[in-house]
Each structure stands twice: as C-alpha cells, then as structure tokens.
Structure 1
C-alpha cells in the first residue's frame, strides 16, 4: 500500500523528521532534555539495542507524539495525555497519517457518523479511537498503533490509570505525603530543565494546581515567572490569585473578560476559523474559556514570544477531586452510570444512541474483575475528558506560537497517584493536605475560594456543596433523574459566571438562537462546532 504521511501543524512545537522517524514535543530521559534530532537519535539507540517500545516509553518524561516508519509497518505513539493529536486511515489502497483530519477527510471523501455526532454534542468529544468521520481514527492517550504494510491495524495501550488491590501503596498518609512532595519537586525540576531560563507563564486560578506550580518554582529559585488571571474583577478566583501573586512576589496580570476583548463577530473571522479547524479536528470541542484572554495578552505583547505556558492541568484530578463529586462506584454497572452522569451532561435534550452506550460497555468489559471499579471511572476520565478536552485546551497557546508544558501530568506523578489508596483521595486527601502543610504555608499562600467568597451563594458553592457527603448523593440522584429543564437553572443558581463566559458565548447564541445557561457553555460551543462543519 502507498503510505502518505502529512504532519501539517507546526504551531508552538515543530515536527521534526529524520530516517523515517517523526517527533514533536520534548522528552526528559535520565535528567537530559531531548528534542528534534536528539530525540530521534535517542529512539534509534534504544531500538537498535532491541529495547521494546513499551519499555522505552515508560522512561520518558515530557510531552510528545512519535511516528516511526520502517520497511513493513508504521508505529504511531502518543504520550499519556494525547498532547499532540495524530490521526490515521486506511482507504483506497493507501495508508494516510496526519495531524489534520480535514486533510484525511478530503483524501478519502469521508462521511460523518451520526451516532458519534450525538456523542460529541452530549459530552464534547468523541470517545475511543474513532473520530466524527467514518474510517478516520485517532491515536489515544498512552497508546501505540501499529499499521502493517497491508493495512492491518493493531492498537495497544502502554499506559493506563487503572489499578488492582495488589498494586495499591501500603504506606501511611504521612509517608505518602512526603513521597508526593518528593516527586512533585522532581517534576518541577524537570520543568525548569526544559524551560532553560525562558519565561514561564502560568494561568493562575483560585485553586491549588496552578498555585502549586508557581509556589514550587519560587521554592526552586526560578524567578522568570509571569502569572495571569482573568474573569470578573470581583470574582473569588481573582481575589485569591491576586493575594497569591503578591505573596510569591511574581508579576501578576489581570485581564477582565468583557466585550472590549471579545470580538462580537469572531465566529466569521478567518483567524478564528483557522483555530477552530486546528483545535476541533473532528474530535474535540474547542476550548474558548480563555481564548480571547490569551489572544489579548499575545496581541498586546504582554508576554515574551519565547515564553512557555504552564497551566495547572490536572493535579486536582490526580488527587481525587473527580471521584469526590459523586458516590464512589463499587461495580462496573456503577461506573457505567457514573460515566453517563459525569460526562454526558450537556445538550441532554438529545438522546444518546445505543451505539454510544455499547461503546461504554465495551470499554468496561475490556478490563478484568480484579480492576478496582473506581479506577475504571478515573481511567475513562483521563483517556477521554482530560486528554480530549482539558489538555486539548493547550491548542490555544500553540495557535499563538507558544510552547507549553504540563508538569502535573508528569508520568512519575501520575504513576504515584494511580497507586494511592482510595481513602487518601476521598477522605484524608493527601494532595491538598500536603500542599497546604508543606508548600503553601511556608510562602503565606494558604488561601481558598471559600474563605474569600463575598456572597452567600458563592460560599455555599465553595464551602458546602463540594465538601459534604450528602450532596454527592443528592447530585447523583438529581443528575440521573431530573429533566434537563430543571437541572440547568438549578446548576446556574449554585454556580456563578465568575469568568464572564456569557460574553464569549453571546455571538454563538445569536447564530444558533439558543438560550444562555452557564452549565451549557460547552454544549453551546459543541453545537456550534458541528453546525459550522459545512462552512469550512
């Protein structure tokens, strides 16, 4: 079969090819940074020694995508967060590989899958290896795809986030906190090695993740740091972030998200349609929450061109925050319901097709009975929502020409939390406890949004709704049984639009004649993404 490899997107990080090996991103291996030609050489050295790909990849820290073309097959490899998406198709006696699904669709005259359009509208992305285009597939997080010269496809995960009882760590909570802090420090040192003195720019929220990165950089003596926060001036996030930045003595920039920075006609602008195609790629809802904020920073040259953007993805997830949202699933059936309730939560007027339900069941049935049910929930979240929506939000930084890094997805940190017992993620939460006691306290940044909430509604949301066990059961019941016409206004009553997302959604609402609900923001963007397909 003819092989056509076209990697077209060189925003932020560039593709590099030599001797049939294509690489993008960076790797830290044995305390040395590898990129471009050096990364190709490292791979060749290991492969020539007969080291298996799976064993090589478990020693790589960083973010990367790799394609290896040999005489009789092609290997496509994604890092554990699918940081740089790759796609493939076998059609018309040709093997097509690209980072651009629009290119592949045109080559094969691909048709859209109606069932997967429904899934996209309900959760904001296409799960598993498929895309919205029949016959076009994506390389999943932590996956190796092998395509033989006759077009046969083999898929294998070299990493997942599931765990069995025997794998759980047996240490005390104090010992686990010490180990977590030790690994976190190593992850930050790897970030510093990669940054090599360049400006690190951190989108600073009111939560712990971005604050942990900023504080650990201060602790390690890295001073070339800029923090920025956006939203409404009186929001709890802004109040916390301002105080954190002040105490850390880092430069802090506040950008008010309002109509001054959001072009009311942006859906028709050429630059935005280019971004849409790049970030959407027939898999993911584009992430607009901070797009115009970052565009404002870029257009006004507020941050240096060689900066590295370092968001806080997704320490809270590793620490168990998503497990604490609902009652802990105790069986695969519980996990099935939990996945539906947590993730298929927008555009609920659209009914899920049996095909999507079948996909979830196939995922669950692919694991043995020894796999702890709650880890099936977390693994699905990591492979799908975290990779295809949260990490995919980094397309914004790349689009404007910036590199990025995600140190809280450091493989050593991920592997540690994979094995942390459930009780230390849901009851005595070692992630947040260790940060408060041993990182934030020393720098005077032990602050939380619940402590600075300036209305009773916000205090209820931050202090009570997220902490009391009874609300997990109430939420589970409500999400499962109440109609969306009731759930949407209830959610908006509890959660406030502190980032002023309405101003971002307004041009889309006008085009689609939809009513505004904060809880439907991502559903609104997802609907626009599909509605706009025929126009590109």
Structure 2
C-alpha cells in the first residue's frame, strides 16, 4: 500500500516512516533512532498488539507508518498530534484530501452532518465515506482483509470512588512532579533554542511561561487580536511582569480579508483540512506575519498551552456529587440554591443523560431537527463517552465526569484543538505540547473530581508559578481575561509598554477594542475581527446570523461561498442536514 507523506519532517528507512520525537525511559528518540525502534518490531514479524506495546512505551509526540508485504501499520501518539489518514485499499497519507481523491470518495451524510453542527468528526471517520483518521493512542493495521484497530493509551480520569486516589499520594505533589518531568523533556527537545509561547489571558500558557522563566530559559511570548481586548491586555501584563519579550499582531477586518483570500490562506485552508476537523484559524495570520517580519524566530521551539486539563473545565454538575462551598463543604446531592451557576445544569450521572448533555451543548452550531441524524449521533456520542467499557461503567459522578472528559479528549481536543499545530507547520516551525505530555496526562488522571473541576488544581499551580516567577501579589496572579476590569483595559498599555502607544494605537489613548463580552458574537465587535474573511454582501444577506465556525463548516462542505453573495445563502438559523435526504 502506497504511503503519500507530504510533510518534510518524515524520516524514511526500509519501509518505515516516522515523524516527531519520543522518550523511552531515559532515551530520547527522533529520526533514525525512532525508526529503528519500530524496525525492531517488524524484524520479528510483530503483531498488532506488539506494535501497540511499543507505542505504549513511547512518550512524546510522533507518528509512524510501517509497511511490509502483508500489511501497513499506522501508529498515533496519545494526543494524535500528527494525524494520518487511510482507507481500505487506498493510500495512506498525512493529508486526508489525498486519500479522498485517490478513492474518489463521496461524502458520508452522518459524519458530514456531525461536522456541520460541531466543526469536527468524533470517531475514526471523516466526512468522506471510507476515509478514516487515526485516533489518539491508536495502532491501525490495514491489509487485504480490512482494517483492525487497537487503542494502547486511553483516558479515564479519577474520582472519589476511583481506587487510584485512595493511596497516600498527594495529587498536587504528583501534578507538580509531572510538570517538572514534562519541562525536562521540553528542554531536551528545545536544546539551546528559545521557547515561544502563544500567550493568552488564561492559565495554561501562563503556567508554561512562568515555569520556564523560573528555570532560566529564554522565553518569547506573542499575542494577537485587537488592542484593548482583555486577552491581549492580560497577556501584555504577564509578559511585562515576567520580563520576557512580547510580540503583538494587530488584527482588523481588512487585513483578515487579505490574509484569508490570498494564495497562502487558500493553500493553508485546503491543506490543513483532512475531513475530520475545521482548520484552526485564530493564530494563523499572527504566526505568519510575526515570523515574516523577523519578530519571532524560526529556530525556536513553539509550545502552545493545550492541556489535558481543558476537558475538566466544561464539566456539568452531577446529581449526587459532593458540593463544595467556600470555605467548607455543604454536603452532597442536588443543590437548593438556584443562583449557583455550577448547579444550574444538574445532570444525572448515567450514559443517557450524558448523551443528552453532549448533544445539546456540542451539536449546536446550527439549529436542526432530524430524527435520522439524532439516532446516529446518540450512538456515536455514547461510543465516545465510554469507549470499550460497558454502559454500567458509568455509575456515579466520578465515572460520569470521566466519561465526559474522555469524550472531549477524543472528540474535540485531539481533532479540532490540536489541529492548530498545522498552523506552526505551515510556517515551517517546530512545536511541542508540554501540558499534553503523557506524564502530565497520567498525573491529571489521578486528580480527584472536585480538584479537576474548572481545571482547579491546574489553575492553582499556574497562579503559584506565576506569583513566584513574577513576584506579584495573589490578586494579580489570579487575573484572567474574564476578571480584567474596564479600568485595566485603559491603563494596560501605559502601565506595561508605554513606548508602544504611538505605534500600536497610533497615539490614541483609547484602545480600539472596548466592546463588552456580550457583543463579541457580532461581526464588528469580535475581538479577532475575523469576520473579515466573509464578504460584506454575504454578511448582509444573513438575517439570522451564526458564528464564524458555523459559516466555515458550510463553506468547507461547499454549501456557502464566503466571498460571493450571488451564491445560495442560508435564510435562517436552521440547517437542513444531509441525513434528511
């Protein structure tokens, strides 16, 4: 079977292709040494299970393709950081569109409907019938008899009834130790190169930047959007207090139009779309512009703050869950305070209730009414929630939370969110995901539910590291884009980089972006200004406006031309799904 691998980072040797880096105990493997590790397996005619065992021994971000006379094996790391696409009897590629073209595959109505409503596909399928993508921690065997899959690294976080939390180990101590190991690995990968962190107003990138500054590393932060946006101003403050270089790329609608419609934008959108997730767009212009201007180095290691803790941030409150009230717990069971935001979405801790919750929360880019798709979607969601486990595995709040986080990890994070790595590859840059390092994943799995909720323990670690590295009071250490006051938005530029006032804002005192959060869904008030990718005439023809993700899913499937108002345009918020036909 032919393997068509387009990225220039692949190392090929004797029927084996590998890309990325991994650690095995104290050994650091990349290029030829990583290829040799898989060659050892093929030399003894390894089974699918034996190759999966090798994958389980490797910790890092990599992919591998092994070809022999009988079969082709594909290996994905636990984050699926390097996707591979395949089909029965067709080629293997790191570009999903190439597999689709080789098979002349039509679209699949079920997965295309899922993509339209969520912007990603949650299983191994793509929107094209018979074209598949590797999943996190998976080995795939393709031969004349068909396709066989094995998962060697799953994710099922702990909770109060989980035996993994019943020992004497302190979850915070374990998480701190895991972070240090992940940073040790990052430094080994980076060598003497600087580390570039896309710095936001949240805790994830703050944790990375602070911990690396504490280690004496050269760190460069960058941010993008509109000056005055809380994300930008908190990032500006964090960089100033940490004493690191900070670069900013200003966005506006006219430049977005130039970026997106130019040859580089058209090429990126086409090549980054594998049929399983909408290409990540937010930082694509910033990375290209800052690198082209020489403001970000090409010889650095780029480390986004994507983290295993993110799925914990969106957990609902479960019936029967112990409810904590500061400074002490008030017991278990349904809450009586209707104003408590955590208790407004009380969900029964069973599979059916979780399916309802996911369907309502995540399948919502468009309004829809299609019983055919709903039946299929429920089956797909349930499979993503429990994996190979029996439905009875979800028996209480802890296991319900584990199922919910597993779905987010495999359904959204590993497809759409980690897809932003294609942005860095498009600019010819190297990347690493320290907060998705398997050692950090395992440590987070052992954190009890109450300390995971809202990324609690992870956020506490970020605040402490930032407070220590920047020598700031607790109040400023906990500042985020959501808690930044209006006054701070005015004063941020003068406080932290006054010399930039006359270049970034043209000498104006007022920041150009002061829109309240409630208006950000409106095209002219969005903090990224990215509605500039849509022609004004098209926007005017949208009476029930949907967010840009919704419009882009239509564009990706050929249902909407973002640049041509003469083409069909939705006349309302409801979309007719392919399954209705």
Tell me, yes or no, whether TM beats 0.5.
yes
Aligned to 1:448: 479
Q: Aligned partners of 1:491, 1:356: CA distance in 2, in Å? A: 32
Aligned to 2:433: 406
Q: Aligned partners of 2:14, 2:347: CA distance in 1, in Å? A: 49
- Cα deviation, residue 32, structure 1: 3.2
Equivalent of 2:127, from 129, 132, 144? 132
CA contact (8 A) 1:261 1:292 kept: no
Aligned to 2:359: 340
Report the TM-score when normalising by structure 2.
Answer: 0.77
- Confirm or deny that 1:25 pairs with 2:17: no
Gaps of 5+ in 1: 458-489
SS of match in other structure, 1:190: helix
Aligned to 2:375: 354
- Confirm or deny that 1:367 pairs with 2:360: no
Aligned to 2:81: 83
- Cα deviation, residue 216, structure 1: 0.9
- Cα deviation, residue 179, structure 1: 1.4
- Cα deviation, residue 72, structure 1: 2.0
Q: Aligned partners of 1:270, 1:350: CA distance in 2, in Å? A: 38
Question: After superposition, what is the alpha-carbon deviation per residue over 1:173-192, rounded to whole angstroms, capped at 9, x for unaligned?
Answer: x9211211111011011101
Q: Aligned partners of 1:98, 1:7: CA distance in 2, in Å? A: 5
Q: Aligned partners of 2:524, 2:434: CA distance in 1, in Å? A: 26
CA contact (8 A) 2:17 2:66 kept: yes
Q: Which moved more, 1:360-369 or 1:56-65?
A: 360-369
Equivalent of 2:280, from 287, 301, 323? 287
Q: Aligned partners of 1:233, 1:502: CA distance in 2, in Å? A: 10
CA contact (8 A) 1:492 1:518 kept: no
- Work out the number of aligned pairs and report it: 491
Equivalent of 1:248, from 222, 232, 242? 242
Question: After superposition, what is the alpha-carbon deviation per residue over 1:207-227, rounded to whole angstroms, capped at 9, x for unaligned?
Answer: 11001111111112212x210
After superposition, the Cα gap between the structure-2 partners of 1:315 and 1:155, relative to the gap in structure 1 and judged at 3 Å, is closer
SS of match in other structure, 1:58: helix
- Cα deviation, residue 261, structure 1: 3.7
SS of match in other structure, 2:529: helix
- Cα deviation, residue 435, structure 1: 2.9
Aligned to 1:504: 530
CA contact (8 A) 2:64 2:74 kept: yes
SS of match in other structure, 2:142: strand
- Confirm or deny that 1:271 pairs with 2:264: yes
Q: Aligned partners of 2:488, 2:374: CA distance in 1, in Å? A: 41
Q: Aligned partners of 2:538, 2:136: CA distance in 1, in Å? A: 33
1:6-25 superposed matches below 5 A: 6-10=4-8, 14-25=9-20
CA contact (8 A) 1:335 1:374 kept: no
Runs of at least 4 residues off by over 6 Å: 494-499, 516-519, 532-535
Question: After superposition, what is the alpha-carbon deviation per residue over 1:483-513, rounded to whole angstroms, capped at 9, x for unaligned?
Answer: xxxxxxx994587999945632233254754
Q: Aligned partners of 1:361, 1:436: CA distance in 2, in Å? A: 36
Equivalent of 2:419, from 392, 402, 419? 392
Q: Aligned partners of 2:203, 2:523: CA distance in 1, in Å? A: 20
- Cα deviation, residue 428, structure 1: 9.4
1:153-164 superposed matches below 5 A: 153-163=147-157
- Confirm or deny that 1:321 pairs with 2:313: yes
Aligned to 1:169: 165
SS of match in other structure, 2:486: coil
Q: Aligned partners of 2:217, 2:531: CA distance in 1, in Å? A: 37
- Cα deviation, residue 392, structure 1: 0.2
CA contact (8 A) 1:231 1:499 kept: no
- Aligned-residue CA RMSD in angstroms? 3.1
Equivalent of 1:195, from 186, 190, 193? 190
Q: Aligned partners of 2:524, 2:289: CA distance in 1, in Å? A: 19
Question: After superposition, what is the alpha-carbon deviation per residue over 1:354-375, rounded to whole angstroms, capped at 9, x for unaligned?
Answer: 3233322344464222351221
After superposition, the Cα gap between the structure-2 partners of 1:507 and 1:95, relative to the gap in structure 1 and judged at 3 Å, is closer
CA contact (8 A) 1:232 1:498 kept: no
Equivalent of 1:238, from 224, 232, 241? 232
SS of match in other structure, 2:304: coil
Q: Which moved more, 1:74-83 or 1:38-47?
A: 38-47
1:410-489 superposed matches below 5 A: 410-426=437-453, 429-437=456-464, 440-444=467-471, 446-449=477-480, 450-454=482-486
- Cα deviation, residue 23, structure 1: 0.6
- Cα deviation, residue 279, structure 1: 1.3
SS of match in other structure, 1:62: strand
Q: Which moved more, 1:176-185 or 1:437-446?
A: 437-446
1:47-196 superposed matches below 5 A: 52-90=50-88, 94-148=89-143, 150-163=144-157, 165-170=161-166, 175-196=170-191
Return the index of the structure with the highest Cα Rg: 2
After superposition, the Cα gap between the structure-2 partners of 1:329 and 1:404, relative to the gap in structure 1 and judged at 3 Å, is farther
- Cα deviation, residue 451, structure 1: 4.2
Aligned to 2:34: 39
Q: Aligned partners of 2:157, 2:69: CA distance in 1, in Å? A: 37
